[in-house]
Amino acid sequence: MQTFFQQVINGLSLGSIYALLALGYTMVYGIIKLINFAHGDIYMLGAFWGYYVINVWHFNFIAALLSAMVICGLSGVIIEYFAYRPLRHSPRITALITAIGVSFFLENGMAYLFGSNARDFPQIVKQVNYNIGGVRISNIQIQILATACILMLLLQLIIRYTKMGRAMRAVSVDNDAAQLVGINPNLTISFTFALGSALAGAAGVMIGLYYNSIDPLMGMTPGIKAFVAAVVGGIGSVPGASLGGFLIGLLETLVQSVGLSAYKDAVVYVVLIVILLILPTGIFGKNVKEKV
């Protein structure tokens, strides 16, 4: 049982990172029905920004986290403005191909500018391990989980209780009707990209602190897993994305604990296939009937 609870703690820490990434996928899809495959690379930008400001400007964890959220939020807005907005009325496959192109541009651009070798992320938080009933929990795991939960709670409050949050919900339901009541869809969509990208930037800093290593391709696999988490939870559903992220994190660590580390990625995709066969709309997704 000690081993089981140890893996649950590890899974919740990793799952909180996937949850933050999945929220970006699900919000963008809920607003403009786009799968933003460049989202994982925004997470990579956040990690590199945290690496830079900690090493050069000697920021602490909170300052590095907040600054990464600001920079990644701005990056998300710029990408939406130049890459996605001109294609908003184009076929979905065009926007999807563009998202993949933006992803490759960010990955290869960072590799060209800073090299493709992995870098050691500075450990600004000294690790302290606590032993509770035979289960080891580090202060870094607690900090990551608490920070992720606070950010998810703040996101929920923004969506439910702010004017821009109400605008996001209105645009996601009916873009044309939202415009008729005075909502600016371009501003709302840009705000959605900023929110999702800011969460990805925070996740990038926390994963650097957790794994102590970053590289230009680090966003590829977590980005896909976060997309799987969003689909499992019900893409378009904010609570579903959070739940899906934690489930994927728990699944991955439990698979590793039984000696199947080589198959941890494959198991995630198998779960995706099973969910799509049993619950095509995900756990919290809703079946929407379209008139033809």
**How confident is the model over 17-27, as pLDDT tens digits?**
999 999 999 99
Give the pLDDT score at 292: 46
pLDDT beyond 80 at 286: no
Residues in CB range of 132: below 8 A, 6 or more apart: none
Q: What percent of the chain has pLDDT above 90? A: 75
**How confident is the model over 200-232, as pLDDT tens digits?**
999 999 999 999 999 999 999 999 999 999 999
**How confident is the model over 99-150, as pLDDT tens digits?**
999 999 999 999 999 999 999 999 899 899 999 888 899 999 999 999 999 9
What DSSP string describes 178-189? HHHTT--HHHHH
Report how far residue 292's alpha carbon sits from residue 289's, in angstroms, rounded to the nearest whole number: 10
Q: What percent of the chain has pLDDT above 70? A: 98
Give the pLDDT score at 276: 84
Whole-prediction pTM value? 0.94
pLDDT beyond 60 at 288: no
pLDDT tier at 289, thresholds 50, 70, 90: low
Tokens of 230: 């969003």
Q: How many CB atoms lie within 10 A of CB 250?
A: 18
- The residue among 78 and 33 whose pLDDT is bigger is 78
For 172, list phi and psi in degrees, rounded to 5.
-65, -30
> What mean pLDDT value characterizes the chain?
92
Please compute the mean of the pLDDT values over residues 257-283 and round it to a whole number.
87
Q: Any alpha helices (H) in the chain, and if so which ranges? A: 2-32, 39-56, 61-79, 92-114, 139-161, 163-173, 175-180, 185-211, 220-233, 238-257, 264-278
Residue 162 carries which DSSP code? S
What DSSP string describes 71-98? HHHHHHHHHIIIIIGGGTTS-HHHHHHH
Residues in CB range of 69: below 8 A, 6 or more apart: 46, 198, 199, 201, 202
